[in-house]
Amino acid sequence: MPTIKSEAERCIKCKIPKCSKGCPVSTPIPEAFDLFLKSRLREAGEMLFNNNPLSAVCAIVCPHERNCTGNCVLAQKGHPVEFFKMEQYVSQFYLETYTPPEIKKNGKKIGVVGAGPAGITVSIILAQKGYLITLFEAMDSIGGTLRYGIPEFRLPNSILDFYKNILDSLGVKFRPNTRIGTNINAEDMFLDGYSAIFVATGTQRPNRLGLLGETLGHVHFAIDYLKSPDTYRLGKKVAIIGAGNVAIDAARTAIRKEDADVTILHFMSEDDMTANKADIEMALIDGVRFYHNCQAIRITDDTVKCVRVEKSVSEDGSVSFVEDIRSTFDVKAHSVIIAIGQGPGADVVSGGSVTVTQKGLFQVDEFSRTSQQGVFAAGDVVTGPKTVVEAVAFAKIAANTIDEYCQGLPWINDFKHPSARL
C-alpha cells in the first residue's frame, strides 16, 4: 500500500509544475514535497499556510481531480501523484503546533463580515500584518459553509476549532450571532473608526424550484438541513433534487442520520453532474441511488412527480435538456430535499450603496473593490457558490488590496468603479 512518503518520492519535480499551475492559489507542490522528505515538517506547513491559510481544509475538500492531481503529468502514463495526502498531514501538524509570530499592531481597525473561508483567510492575513480585526458572524461559530454546510464525516469540526485558536492567538476579536445589515450596518462601523470593511457573507439563501408542493411540511432546503440535520425527521424514503456537492452531502448525511433510502433526482446526465467525481463515487458506495435525466415537475404529500429529460447538443456545441412530457413517473418520498444552488442574503450595506448584480451578488473590480469607498468583497457573495480554494484565492487579492488601501496608496484610493466582476 502506498505511503505518504512513497507518494512524495514519486513527484518528478517538473521545471514547470502543472500541478501548481492548476491550483487556484498556485500551491508550491514540489517545494512542499522536498521539505517533507527532508523531515522539515514545520517549514513545509508554514510555507503551505502562508500561501493558503486554509491548506488543512483544502487538502480534504478540494476537487483534486480538477486541480493539482488532475494536472499532474504522471496522469498521462499512469497514476498521478496525490499531493493532497501529504498536504493534509503536514497542514494538520502545523495547526497543532502553531505559534503566532511577533506582530507589531498598526492601530488600524478592519471589520470582516462573515467567518467562512474568505473571511477567515482575510482575518489571518491582515492580523499578521498588524491590523486590529473584528470578525462578525451570523452563526455561533466560525466556519460558515465549512461548519454548517459540509458534513463532519467529510470535514471534522476539530479542524475549524484549530482555526478559532489561531484567530484568538492573532488577536482577532470575534462577534458571533451578529448579522450585519440588521442592528448594525456598514455606516455604523465606519463611524466607530474602522478603516475598511471586508464582506464575505457567502450565499446562504437557497434557490427555489418554483413547483407546486414546495411549501409542504416534508419539503426542506439542503442548505438548511445540513446546518442541523439532527433536528429533522425525514422518514425512510428521501428524495433529493440536485446534482451538485450540496446534494451529495445531504444524501450521505441522510443515510447516516436516518438510515434512509435516498434517491438523487436531477435533469443532467451522469457525466454532466457538477459534484466532485470522488464524492459521487462515495455516495454510490454509501448506497445513494441516482435518477439521471429526469426533471421534477411537482411535489405531492408522498411523491415527487418527474418527467424524463433528453440531452440535446446543437451544431455549435451548446447543450440543452428537453423534457419528454410523454414519459412521466413518480418517486416515492417521505421527505424531499431541494439542493439546486444558493444566492446571497440581504445586503449588508445600508441604503443600497454597494452595486449588486441582477442575482444580488456584490459587484467588484479585479482588486475586490466594491462601488463604495472602503468596502471590499470576495468569496461566494461575489462569484456565487465556488470551491473553498477559489474563495481563498479571491480573498488573498482582497487582503492585499485592503492593506494597500489602508496605507493610503494613491492608485487604490483614487478610482472610479468600473463595474467589472471577478
Higher pLDDT, 402 or 356: 402
Give the number of residues written for the chain.
Answer: 422
Is residue 120 a contact partner of residue 392, using CB atoms and an 8 Å limit? no
- Quick check: helix, strand or coil at residue 127? helix
- β-pair type (289-291, 261-265): parallel
HSE value, Cβ hemisphere, 13 Å, CA-based, for 102: 0
On the question of pLDDT at 347 being above 60, the answer is no
Amino acid type, 272:
D
- In tens, the pLDDT along 281-305 reads 999 999 999 999 999 999 999 999 9
Amino acid type, 414:
D
Query: What pTM value is reported for the model?
Result: 0.92
Place of cell 472610479: 416
**Sequence-ordered alpha helix ranges (H) in 62-213:** 83-96, 117-128, 145-148, 157-169, 186-191
Domains, the chain, with CATH or none: 4-96 (1.10.1060.10), 109-204+350-413 (3.50.50.60), 208-338 (3.50.50.60)
In this prediction, residues 22-32 reach a mean pLDDT of 96
- The string of DSSP letters for 316-337 reads TS-EEEEEEEEEEEEEE-SEEE
- Quick check: helix, strand or coil at residue 62? coil
Place of cell 492580523: 127
Is residue 354 a contact partner of residue 362, using CB atoms and an 8 Å limit? yes
Place of cell 503546533: 97
Cα 298 to Cα 214, 238, 331, 418: the distances in Å are 8, 15, 11, 43
- In tens, the pLDDT along 228-240 reads 999 999 999 999 9
On the question of pLDDT at 96 being above 90, the answer is yes
In this prediction, residues 212-223 reach a mean pLDDT of 97
Residues 252, 279: Cα–Cα separation, whole Å: 10
Residues 94, 196: Cα–Cα separation, whole Å: 30
Residues 75, 37: Cα–Cα separation, whole Å: 22
Average pLDDT, the chain: 91
